[in-house]
């Protein structure tokens, strides 16, 4: 790792000198012969055939077919007419979880409990050295189980070691008897505030919801530094393969941050990370006096704080104004009182940290909106309060998103994945403000799109297609689900590029192809503005470039 770091450090030094001297010998590079498409800062489509790039990886000029190419060039890449786009940006994801999950047992492709049991048993047999079998991605709804699975059903697959598997949404985890025993969980165990232990009679049945996951999670062996590094590099490689050149990491722990820095110090950061510290204490410990500067040539910045107002819909942890339609006694629960959430948001805003609050249920969204409205009187200026997910919003609250520069950070594939579940949880009346992308724009809110990886695959093409069709990969439902909430194709693209950059205070750095922006771009095998939704979903990313350097090429 020392090698690349030194090489990179030398490279940076050389580029600083080059700028300072503005010497004629050190000319720009040219990416030429492209079918180039980007949005400009107002979201309008711009087409071009070449891009001039400085030695330090910034765009200096977009060229049209008739523009003369410079004579003196350091380098020239001929793209042979292929389609060139700005890199995609995922406004909400979990980098380390993506990497860990990719290296662990992945149940996201299982369609039944039996299939999952077989896969778990096979993985355990193939990995005898692992003291714990860890993984995730299961979803009892996909399995058609109609209930959570149990520890006993996991014991059938693996009995000799603890197994601990998180649900696809990360809001619940499932352990076998060995895991419960290792954690000392018994019938007497009490769920912490904001958590729930699923029971079978008086016994814990094996699934732990939200904060209760920590009852077992705390005894899971901590990953080593090398495990963290491997997970990061795996996640980065996955993201670049999808054409994602920047992401917002929503809930960076201190160890996540230390991992990013180790990779950055070694010259290994490729994807750009807009980091939001997991809670105020984490962000303040790292930033000290406010957000960090952009580090490693605009590859990393701790921009703000991630807070959680509630849980998720699937596990009925989302906080609703009225009870769940399919669980009449339950309305979910807020994670914090109004006072506590305001105090935390205030502590963050006071030092200039951006605030991003997870809110799924209508009650949670209303709570956060009220907090923003109150705090906006004190903390003025360009704050870009973010509400993450903004999934189920009471229609009376929708217009409130249009004030105080609020950003609705939403995930199109959540809508297509959750559709039937959301209908069951909410009933027809409450769907009017669910996944209400177009309403957000109509009300004057800014929208940034992401995937919430690894809850969903970090595939921006699937998200983009969903965003203007309200249909899943199979074209279901016909005509789209509540199609009045579809965005236009261009609006959705903006939410995945310039809008996502703006949501992270990065619009001067990246998000489109224009002079002064970082040369973050991708070469794809089709024109996304001309492709059918099905074709768009099938987009192949052939090359990914970050800061004027090729960092991924499809094999």
Residues contributing to the site for its own copies (CB under 8 A): 1-2, 5, 9, 13, 16-17, 20-21, 26, 56, 224-226, 228-229, 254-255, 258-259, 261-262, 265-266, 284-290, 292-293, 295, 351
CA gap 91, 415 in Å, rounded: 16
Nearer to its own copies, 267 or 463 (CB): 267
CB-wise, 135 or 264, nearer to its own copies?
264
Phi-psi region of 452 (alpha: psi -120 to 50; beta: other; left: phi over 0): left
Residue 204 Cβ vs its own copies, minimum distance, rounded to whole Å: 31
Q: How far is the CB of 33 from its own copies (least distance, A)?
A: 29
* Residue 468: φ, ψ to 5°: -110, 5
Strands (E), 416-540: 446-449, 521-524
* Residue-wise DSSP of 127-147: -TT-SSEEEEEE-TTTTT-SS
- 416 CB neighbour count, 10 Å cutoff: 25
Q: How far is the CB of 165 from its own copies (least distance, A)?
A: 26
Both tokens assigned to 269: 């950061």
Residue closer to its own copies (CB basis): 241 or 352: 352
Residue 509's Cβ-count burial label (10 Å; 0-12, 13-18, 19+) is buried
Residue with smaller CB distance to its own copies, 5 or 505? 5
Place of tokens 């956060």: 368
Closer by beta carbon to its own copies, 425 or else 509: 509
Nearest approach, Cβ of residue 548 and its own copies (Å): 14
Please tell me the distance from the alpha carbon of residue 503 to that of residue 55, in angstroms, as a whole number.
28
Name which of 464, 304, 466 is nearest 387 in CA terms: 304
Pairing of β 549-553 and β 59-63: unpaired
Q: In angstroms, what is the minimal distance from the CB of 500 to its own copies?
A: 23
Give 156 or 258: the residue with its C-beta nearer to its own copies: 258
Q: How far is the CB of 221 from its own copies (least distance, A)?
A: 14
- Is 35 in contact with 296 (CB distance < 8 Å)? no
CB 34 within 8 A of CB 83: yes
Residue whose CB is less far from its own copies, 210 or 298? 298
359: left (phi over 0), alpha (psi -120 to 50) or beta: beta
- Least distance from its own copies to the Cβ atom of residue 53, Å: 16
CA distance 270 to 95: 13
d(CA 243, CA 543): 8
Nearest distance from C-beta of residue 532 to its own copies, angstroms: 45
- Provide, rounded to whole angstroms, the least separation between the CB of residue 290 and its own copies: 6
Of 190 and 289, nearer to its own copies (C-beta) is 289
Q: Please identify, using beta-carbon distances, which residue of 26 and 529 lies nearer to its own copies.
A: 26
C-beta of 12 vs 424, nearer to its own copies: 12
Q: Are strands 172-175 and 76-78 parallel, antiparallel or unpaired?
A: unpaired
CB of 16 to its own copies, least distance (A): 7
Query: By three-state DSSP, how is residue 410 classified?
Result: strand
Rank residues 130 and 261 by Cβ distance to its own copies and give the closer one. Answer: 261
Residue (of 316, 311, 313) closest to 329 by Cα position: 316
Closest distance to its own copies from the beta carbon of 420 (Å): 43
Q: Which is nearer to its own copies, 130 or 262 (CB)?
A: 262
DSSP-assigned states of every residue in 85-101: EEPEEEEEE-HHHHHHH
What is the closest distance, in whole angstroms, from the C-beta atom of residue 56 to its own copies in the complex?
7
C-alpha pair distances (Å), 5 with each of 17, 239, 262, 478: 18, 22, 10, 52
Residue 116 three-state SS: helix
Residue environment code for 511-541, b if the CB has 16+ CB neighbours within 10 A, otherwise e: bbbbeebbbbbbbbebbbeebebeebbebeb
Q: Quote the CA–CA distance of 73 and 55 in Å, as a whole number.
A: 10
| 29/78 Cα distance (integer angstroms) | 11
**Cβ 37 to its own copies, closest distance in Å?**
31
Nearer to its own copies, 56 or 423 (CB): 56
């Amino acid at each position: 790792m020392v090698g690349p770091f030194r090489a990179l450090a030398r490279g940076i030094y050389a580029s600083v000198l080059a700028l300072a001297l503005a010497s004629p010998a050190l000319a720009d590079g040219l990416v030429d012969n492209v079918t180039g498409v980007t949005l400009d800062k107002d979201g309008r489509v711009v087409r071009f055939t070449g891009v001039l790039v400085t030695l330090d990886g910034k765009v200096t000029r977009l060229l049209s077919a008739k523009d003369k190419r410079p004579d003196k060039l350091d380098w020239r890449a001929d793209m042979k007419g292929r389609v060139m786009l700005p890199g995609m940006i995922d406004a909400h994801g979990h980098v380390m979880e993506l990497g860990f999950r990719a290296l662990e047992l992945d149940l996201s492709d299982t369609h039944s409990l039996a299939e999952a049991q077989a896969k778990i048993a096979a993985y355990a047999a193939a990995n005898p050295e692992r003291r714990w079998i860890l993984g995730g991605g299961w979803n009892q709804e996909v399995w058609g189980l109609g209930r959570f699975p149990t520890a006993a059903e996991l014991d059938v697959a693996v009995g000799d070691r603890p197994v601990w598997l998180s649900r696809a949404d990360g809001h619940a985890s499932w352990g076998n008897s060995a895991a419960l025993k290792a954690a000392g969980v018994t019938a007497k165990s009490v769920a912490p505030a904001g958590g729930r232990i699923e029971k079978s009679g008086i016994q814990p049945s094996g699934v732990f919801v939200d904060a209760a996951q920590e009852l077992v999670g705390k005894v899971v062996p901590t990953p080593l530094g090398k495990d963290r590094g491997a997970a990061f590099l795996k996640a980065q490689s996955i993201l670049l393969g999808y054409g994602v050149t920047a992401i917002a990491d929503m809930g960076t722990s201190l160890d996540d941050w230390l991992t990013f820095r180790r990779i950055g110090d070694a010259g290994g950061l490729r994807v750009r990370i807009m980091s939001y510290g997991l809670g105020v204490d984490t962000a303040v410990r790292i930033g000290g006096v406010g957000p960090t500067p952009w580090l490693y040539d605009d590859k990393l910045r701790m921009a703000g704080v991630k807070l959680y107002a509630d849980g998720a819909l699937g596990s009925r942890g989302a906080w609703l104004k009225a009870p769940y339609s399919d669980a009449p006694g339950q309305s979910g629960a807020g994670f914090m009182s109004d006072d506590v959430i305001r105090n935390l948001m205030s502590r963050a805003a006071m030092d200039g940290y951006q605030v991003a609050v997870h809110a799924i249920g209508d009650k949670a969204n209303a709570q956060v909106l009220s907090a923003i409205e109150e705090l906006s009187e004190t903390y003025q200026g360009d704050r870009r309060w973010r509400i993450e997910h903004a999934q189920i919003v009471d229609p009376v609250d929708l217009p409130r998103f249009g004030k105080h520069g609020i950003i609705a950070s939403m995930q199109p594939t959540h809508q297509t994945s959750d559709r039937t579940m959301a209908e069951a949880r909410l009933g027809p009346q409450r769907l009017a403000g669910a996944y209400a992308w177009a309403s957000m724009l109509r009300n004057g809110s800014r929208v940034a799109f992401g995937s919430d990886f690894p809850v969903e695959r970090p595939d921006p093409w699937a998200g983009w297609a969903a965003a203007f069709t309200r249909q899943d990969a199979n074209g279901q439902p016909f005509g789209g689900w509540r199609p009045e909430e579809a965005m236009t194709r261009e609006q959705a693209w903006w939410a995945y590029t310039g809008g996502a950059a703006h949501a992270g205070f990065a619009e001067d750095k990246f998000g489109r192809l224009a002079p002064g922006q970082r040369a973050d771009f991708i070469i794809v095998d089709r024109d996304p503005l001309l492709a059918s939704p099905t074709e768009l979903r099938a987009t192949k990313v052939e090359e990914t470039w970050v800061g004027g350097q090729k960092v991924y090429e499809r094999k």
